[in-house]
Structure 1
Amino acid sequence: MSHSQSPPGGEEPSKGSGTMDFGLKGRHAVVTGGTRGIGRAITLALLDQGASVTVCHRQESAEADALRAEFAARDAGALLVRADVSREADARLLLDRAHETFGPVDVLVNNAGIITHLPLAELAEDEWARVVDTNLGGAYRMIRASLDRLARPASIVNITSAVAEHGMPNAAHYVASKAGIIGLTRALCKELGPEGIRVNAVTCGVIDGTGQKNPRGEEGKRRYAEMTALGRLGEPAEVADAVLFLASDAARYVTGAVLGVDGGI
């Protein structure tokens, strides 16, 4: 969807955090699934704030190459590691590489996720397991592997979806995994809080420019835009701004929160 002009009843999207200083200079963040869409926007926003960033990607791609080029052009304190969060050994590898390169991790952003669209009758057990184990299991593995690599205090931000609360047909495995992330967030905020580790979640609405194909095409995007209070789809940078807030000391008394970035869908 083009945002060159506001949709009827909607408003023009803001330009993002811009020059706003979230006090993250010199801190170290790890972002999973950071080569495209929301993950890429979070990665670049953290770099703009002066943080060092370690990013993981599951496989080589044009997006990974483009991010490497971006890092080189910025001469940024950034590291791209190939790791699959559905594997315990890869989660440990990622955290070890991050710690060796930039030291303790101040911010962990669990963004990696996958989705397929299948009715329940066609949803085989292996596909259920694949999606749940990547989305929910990946966040579990990363947090568990990070416990001896996190700074104290630290901030963990889990990226989930508004469908966790509203539901969506033909994606029971995806919805269940995203709802599980909210439960994981609320459980771990209580368990890890005494150590100074805050755990929060961001629930995304329909975000444009993520590379994710809408099963209903452009008509589907228009329909979702009309379902929001703001009359438009979101942008990856708008999710990144919420992550910057939760990562920063501005949110130092915020934990166990589920922050909706969904345009009032």
Structure 2
Amino acid sequence: MADQRVAVVTGASRGIGRAIATTLAAAGQAVVVGYAGNDVAAKAVVEEITAAGGRAVAVRADVATESEVSAMFDTAVDTFGGVDVVVNSAGRLALSPIADLDLDVLDELHRTNIRGSFVVAREAARRVRTGGAIVMLSTSVVGLQLPNYGAYAASKGAVEAMTLILARELRGRDVTVNTVAPGPTATDLFLDGKDEATIARLAAQPPLERLGAPADIARVVAFLAGPGGRWVNGQTLRANGGIV
């Protein structure tokens, strides 16, 4: 299967990242399931993909650690022959008013969301083959500017700032670089700790009057990573059902 496209997806053991990994696999791509620490969940993603006839391997890597990210890409090359698509779905969330934010929490958040995004993007820029795609994950909170999201929005704003710059730096490579910024999405992480009234209020925000599903975001990423998205480059796509 020398002509099969190969995707590296970080944060792929659960939530949106898992949906992206399985969606890309269903579209015919071999997938490296990158994950931070949940071995059981990552193994389950690989088993789901292989049971459906796809090819996948799980690799544990901290996205902010250069050597681990490099090793993850090495696995993609050694196992599947190269890298065509990179999706950085790994991220960390911490909520606090700016005035009360623990700076140690800020440092941890930015280590994953900014440094991690940069490390993955840098490795992707070095490794992705001609005709490939790099997709980063941001958040629609960057535009909504909600209280308590200051640190998180700042970190994802940095990701969006990288997008067009990296696209321009890859001129002549035929590699696209885009960012997807989801709105409220019904993952276990998002729903945890929220009562029904809060969930209902958030679901009522978009004109479509529902929360996003991980599959909604995964399909957008798959479009950008596939043949239909080749003329979309250097963009941040807000996949949020119309929240403004």
1:24-173 counterparts in 2 under 5 A? 26-173=4-151
Residue of structure 2 equivalent to 1:207: 185
Query: How does the TM-score come out when normalised to structure 1?
Result: 0.86
Give unpaired runs (5+ residues) of structure 2: none
Residues 153-207 of structure 1: per-residue CA shift (max 9 Å, x gap):
2110111110011112212111101111111112111111322221011110001
- Kept in 2: contact 1:214–1:221 (CA 8 A): no
Question: Secondary structure, in 3 states, of the residue corresponding to 1:193?
Answer: coil
Number of corresponding residues: 241
Quick one: percent identity of the two aligned structures?
36
Question: Secondary structure, in 3 states, of the residue corresponding to 1:86?
Answer: coil
Query: How does the TM-score come out when normalised to structure 2?
Result: 0.93
- Kept in 2: contact 1:128–1:173 (CA 8 A): yes
What amino acid is the match of 1:227? Q
CA distance in 2, matches of 1:64, 1:219: 32
- Kept in 2: contact 1:202–1:259 (CA 8 A): yes
Give unpaired runs (5+ residues) of structure 1: 1-24
Aligned match for 1:251, one of 203, 221, 229? 229
- Kept in 1: contact 2:93–2:152 (CA 8 A): yes
2:176 is aligned with 1:198: yes
What amino acid is the match of 1:177? S
- Kept in 2: contact 1:99–1:149 (CA 8 A): no
Question: Secondary structure, in 3 states, of the residue corresponding to 2:137?
Answer: strand
CA distance in 2, matches of 1:106, 1:46: 12
Q: Which runs of 4+ in 1 moved over 3 A?
A: 213-216
What amino acid is the match of 2:66? E
What amino acid is the match of 2:112? T
- Kept in 1: contact 2:95–2:148 (CA 8 A): yes
CA distance in 2, matches of 1:264, 1:214: 24
CA distance in 2, matches of 1:124, 1:153: 43
